[in-house]
Structure 1
Amino acid sequence: RTRVLDVLKAEGYIRDYSQVDYGNGKSEIEIELKYAEGGPVIREIMRVSKPGRRVYVSVKSIPQVANGLGISILSTPKGVMADHEAREQNVGGEVLCQIF
């Protein structure tokens, strides 16, 4: 559940996150958003793959988001990573979401 958040933190889109356990078997993840120049760093998050419609791409067809200003997050055989990492490691996978 937190692998996507690890990518968002590494890419500078969120400040931090923590898991809060309520002790009765329920827990939540608190996300501390990051702000720059008076506005949020994340302008839009678009879910790409959905349970009824999975979107898989090869390394050659990994989409660029907003001409490189945003990122795609992929689930690959080597783990969850940003689009530029997937290109560097020459792996494709399932496109989870796009952020810009």
Structure 2
Amino acid sequence: MLLDPMADALSTIKNAESTGKPECIVKPASKLIGNVLKVMQDAGYIGEFELVDDGKAGVFTVELKACINKCGVIKPRHYVKHTEFEKWEKRYLPAKKFGTLILTTSKGVMTHHEASEKGDGGQLLAYVY
């Protein structure tokens, strides 16, 4: 029984990275997980990823770059103003300017760096470094 698909996806990626695999399969696929993977790809943490139809919900095949130390979901999903990112960086990231918080805003899923540049707040989804 799968309770949190996002947590399962990120733990699959983290475990595959730690064992040195070149790629992994993330299932089930969802729009939110796809958007988070796109943000991770744009930030340079993963390579290409592709949605493969398996007759059910679909799966993502993700190419790994071996540059993720840790990643995970943030529970509960805290709402954060754009002026409060530093507080959450201290809580979830190991050092300043190292790592990324991923959040969902009214303008889509983005990193906390992009959100602070645009002056947007949102709900924290995950962290990666």
TM-score normalized with structure 1 length: 0.84
* Corresponding residue number in structure 2 for 1:58: 81
Matched ranges for 1:27-46 at <5 A = 27-34=58-65, 40-46=66-72
Structure 2 unaligned residues grouped into runs of 5+: 1-30
* Corresponding residue number in structure 2 for 1:76: 105
* Corresponding residue number in structure 2 for 1:19: 51
Higher strand share: 1
Are the structure 2 counterparts of residues 25 and 46 from structure 1 closer, same or farther at C-alpha, using a change threshold of 3 Å? closer
Structure 1 unaligned residues grouped into runs of 5+: 35-39
After the TM superposition, list the runs of 4 or more consecutive aligned residues in structure 1 that deviate by more than 4 angstroms: none
Q: What is the deviation of 1:26?
A: 4.1
RMSD of equivalent CA atoms? 1.2
- Give SS of 2:44's match: coil
Q: Does 1:97 align with 2:120?
A: no
Identity %, equivalent residues: 34
Give CA-to-partner distance per residue, 1:39-86, whole Å, 9 cap, x none: x2111012113xxx3211110111323311100001011110001000
Say which of 74, 80, 85 aligns to 1:48.
74
Higher helix share: 2
TM-score normalized with structure 2 length: 0.66
- Give SS of 1:60's match: coil
